[in-house]
Amino acid sequence: MNKTIPETREFLKEFILLAEDATDVDIVVAPPFTSLPAAAESVKGTNIKNAAQDVFYEEKGAFTGEISPAMILDCGCSHVIIGHSERRQYFNETDAVINKKVKAARNSGLEVVFCIGESLAERESGKTFDVLKMKIEKGLENIAGDNIVVAYEPVWAIGTGRTAAPSQAQEAHAYIRDRLRVLYGNKADKNRIIYGGSVTPENVDSLMACKDVDGALVGGASLKVESFIRIVKFKAEAR
């Protein structure tokens, strides 16, 4: 919940110029609902795409305050984030609700960034893989694997300044890849699995060097142009 419409325009005006030569990565920005049309106008004709931070699972009706997939498309979005840890934590979104949202978004043609992760208590009690397995199976139930990006965001590392060590990130991503193979077979190798947990300019290079880390879901570090562009232009190391 950051950036007004003027702030979004100003941010993108500066960011777009710096990102013009970043042609070897896919860049997606996800401003608040109120700034989506302004962002879509700003990034039109550039190498940057627009995403919503959430979506509702019905097309229309008596659902005050909610935003449908059609409305998001109308705002110029190609992507939507679903199941973010903050939606799960603060708004009590269940795997069943998230599954309905993924289905609605996919049916409308939106590409989905599907978020999963474990809490600190779950990790310390050795339940990380159990949690990831459950969230994948329930969240992606009866959903084809095309155009699904899975974001691994360990809850204990979001906004805390703590980051999963590259070895921890790789271990979780490799497990997620294996679970996706159970669902989708060899097609799972085409699914991108991105890391989201206090990604910064200081740790992005080592995270991106991991074999199964295909990108980053950037939070606080995306609010400043200089830090976000450094992440976009990460320095690739041998995988």
By annotation, the residues acting in catalysis are: 84, 153
The sign of the dihedral angle between the CA atoms of 198, 201, 203, 206 is: positive
Q: Give the integer Cα–Cα distance in Å for 79 and 123.
A: 30
Task: State the sign of the Cα–Cα–Cα–Cα dihedral 93, 96, 102, 103.
Answer: negative
User: CA-to-CA distance for 40 and 76, rounded, in angstroms?
Assistant: 5
Which letter does DSSP use for residue 53 in this model? Answer: S
CA pair distance 82, 99, nearest whole angstrom: 9
Tell me how far apart the alpha carbons of residues 102 and 89 are, in angstroms, rounded to a whole number. 18
How many Cβ atoms sit within 10 Å of the Cβ of residue 216? 23
Q: Cα dist. 203→165, 213, 218 in Å?
A: 9, 13, 12
Classified as helix, coil or strand, 114 is strand
Q: What are phi and psi for residue 114, nearest 5 degrees?
A: -100, 120
CA angle 53, 56, 60 (to 5 degrees): 135
